[in-house]
């Protein structure tokens, strides 16, 4: 009798759980962007339901016939692939056209104008990674992203830029606008970018990336100096050393922050060299580093977040720590049904050897 009661109870619990976490027959949970809701024909609106039956609030129930099919990335696509070409006029601070094809400019519109507010990086054809402090105080419908841009004063580049409106702005739920903790956000674009030579995704870090022995880069349209009256028209770049957490914190103690300052784990530091720094207008841009096992490819280590003025020797700047925040990024991308091939480097024998060495080290300890 007890066994029968338990079986019945378990079955009822199963039916109830299924009702709470599934869509009606003939429909599925998908990200909102994957449901064709023109004229409302794709949306299921059960007015008797008090909660979204899908496992994530970025998803919705959609009739299977209205689900938009998404193409898989080209098998030859390589994330984080730098286009290296001579010809920047001898100015080492200027990028070449399409040198870092994942870099995007973010704009906010008002009634009469469109204003540049910061940078971001392409993860997939319709998803961009940026800083929360750049976009999370803006209205989503006012935001747009421009990919493939180089010189904002002209449209005579070898390939045209592409501009997309933002339809979803996903900010880290623990972003703190006072101290910039967890300064990260994902933008979902209204339509996909067309990937080609000058518009490509950046790689996200895998679990066992080597510490960076080479210098890393930031590319953006920010000011060269804090006192400059305007941001740059041409995409600029700066190469920076990565500063370990303890050293960075102690260097920042020497500023007005004093020794009572504690650097949060959601930050990574870079820079501290004279006349080499990110500055106003670079916020949201990627800090990217070479992949040891894939020469010519780069992965995103950070996002430009905050600093104390610009170009001060011995004073590094703080960047959102992408490896530290990676689980949040993956959760959002998974909920949005992102194709991982766009932003994941190939796992080769060098990587697996590195993973094995790391595991052996943990075993010995």
Q: Give the tens place of pLDDT for each residue, 190-212.
A: 999 999 999 999 999 998 887 66
Query: What does the pLDDT read at residue 310?
Result: 85
Q: Is pLDDT at 10 greater than 50 in this prediction? A: no
Query: What does the pLDDT read at residue 202?
Result: 98
The domain locations on the chain are: 17-66, 83-365
Of 188, 180, 66, 181, nearest to 122 by C-alpha is 188
The b/e string for 52-64 (b: 16+ C-beta within 10 A; e otherwise) is: bbbeeebbbbbbe
Q: Taking the mean position of all CA atoms in its chain, how far away is CA 89?
A: 31
How big is the CA angle at 59 (ends 55 and 63), to the nearest 5 degrees?
A: 110
> What percent of the chain stands above pLDDT 90?
55
Please give the CATH architecture assigned to the domain spanning 83-365.
Beta Barrel (2.40)
Q: Give the tens place of pLDDT for each residue, 265-298.
A: 999 999 999 888 898 899 999 999 999 889 899 9
Query: What does the pLDDT read at residue 51?
Result: 65
Query: What does the pLDDT read at residue 75?
Result: 61
- Residue 181, number of CB atoms within 10 A of its CB: 17
- Residue 73, number of CB atoms within 10 A of its CB: 17
At residue 7 the predicted structure's pLDDT band, cuts being 50, 70 and 90, is: very low
What's the pTM value of the predicted model, to 2 decimals?
A: 0.83
Query: What does the pLDDT read at residue 55?
Result: 82
Q: Is pLDDT at 255 greater than 60 in this prediction? A: yes
Q: What is the C-alpha to C-alpha distance for residues 338 and 340, in angstroms, rounded to an integer?
A: 6
Query: What does the pLDDT read at residue 226?
Result: 61
Query: What does the pLDDT read at residue 156?
Result: 81
Cβ contact 73:218 at 8 Å: no
At residue 14 the predicted structure's pLDDT band, cuts being 50, 70 and 90, is: very low
Mean pLDDT throughout 148-161?
89
Q: Give the tens place of pLDDT for each residue, 337-346.
A: 999 999 999 8
Q: What value does the mean pLDDT of the chain take?
A: 85
C-alpha distance across the termini of the chain, in Å: 53
Q: Which of 49-63, 106-120, 147-161 has the lowest mean pLDDT?
A: 49-63
Q: Is pLDDT at 21 greater than 60 in this prediction? A: no
How big is the CA angle at 251 (ends 248 and 253), to the nearest 5 degrees?
A: 110
Mean pLDDT throughout 1-27?
50
Q: Give the tens place of pLDDT for each residue, 86-125.
A: 545 456 889 999 999 999 999 999 878 899 999 999 999 9
At residue 71 the predicted structure's pLDDT band, cuts being 50, 70 and 90, is: low
Query: What does the pLDDT read at residue 85?
Result: 64
Query: What does the pLDDT read at residue 18?
Result: 38
Burial (Cβ within 10 Å: 0-12, 13-18, ≥19) of residue 221:
buried
């Amino acid at each position: 009798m007890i066994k029968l009661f338990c079986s019945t109870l378990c079955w009822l619990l199963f039916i109830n759980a299924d009702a709470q976490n599934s869509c009606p027959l003939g429909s599925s949970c998908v990200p909102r962007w994957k449901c064709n809701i023109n004229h409302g024909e794709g949306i299921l609106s059960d007015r008797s339901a008090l909660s979204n039956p899908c496992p994530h609030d970025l998803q919705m129930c959609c009739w299977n016939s209205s689900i938009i099919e998404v193409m898989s990335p080209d098998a030859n696509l390589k994330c984080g692939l730098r286009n290296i070409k001579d010809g920047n006029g001898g100015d080492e601070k200027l990028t070449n056209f399409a040198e870092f094809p994942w870099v995007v400019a973010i704009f906010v519109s008002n009634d009469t104008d469109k204003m540049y507010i910061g940078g971001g990086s392409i993860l997939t054809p319709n998803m961009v990674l940026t800083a929360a402090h750049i976009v999370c105080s803006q209205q989503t419908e006012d935001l747009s992203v421009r990919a493939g841009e180089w010189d904002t004063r002209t449209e005579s580049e070898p390939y045209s830029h592409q501009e997309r409106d933002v339809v979803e702005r996903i900010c880290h739920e623990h972003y703190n606008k006072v101290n910039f903790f967890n300064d990260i956000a994902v933008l979902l674009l209204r339509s996909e970018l067309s990937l080609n030579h000058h518009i490509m995704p950046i790689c996200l870090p895998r679990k066992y990336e080597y510490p960076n022995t080479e210098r890393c880069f930031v590319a953006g349209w920010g000011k060269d100096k804090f006192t400059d009256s305007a941001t740059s028209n041409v995409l600029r770049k700066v190469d920076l050393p990565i500063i370990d957490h303890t050293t960075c914190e102690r260097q920042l103690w020497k500023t007005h922050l004093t020794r009572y300052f504690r650097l949060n784990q959601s930050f990574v530091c870079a820079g501290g060299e004279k006349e080499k720094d990110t500055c106003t207008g670079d916020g949201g841009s990627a800090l990217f580093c070479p992949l040891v096992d894939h020469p010519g490819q780069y992965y995103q280590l950070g996002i430009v977040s905050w600093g104390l003025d610009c170009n001060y020797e011995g004073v590094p700047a703080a960047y959102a720590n992408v490896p530290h925040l990676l689980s949040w990024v993956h959760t959002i991308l998974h909920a949005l049904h992102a194709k991982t091939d766009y932003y994941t480097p190939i796992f080769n024998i060098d990587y697996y050897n590195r993973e094995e060495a790391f595991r052996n080290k943990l075993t010995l300890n």
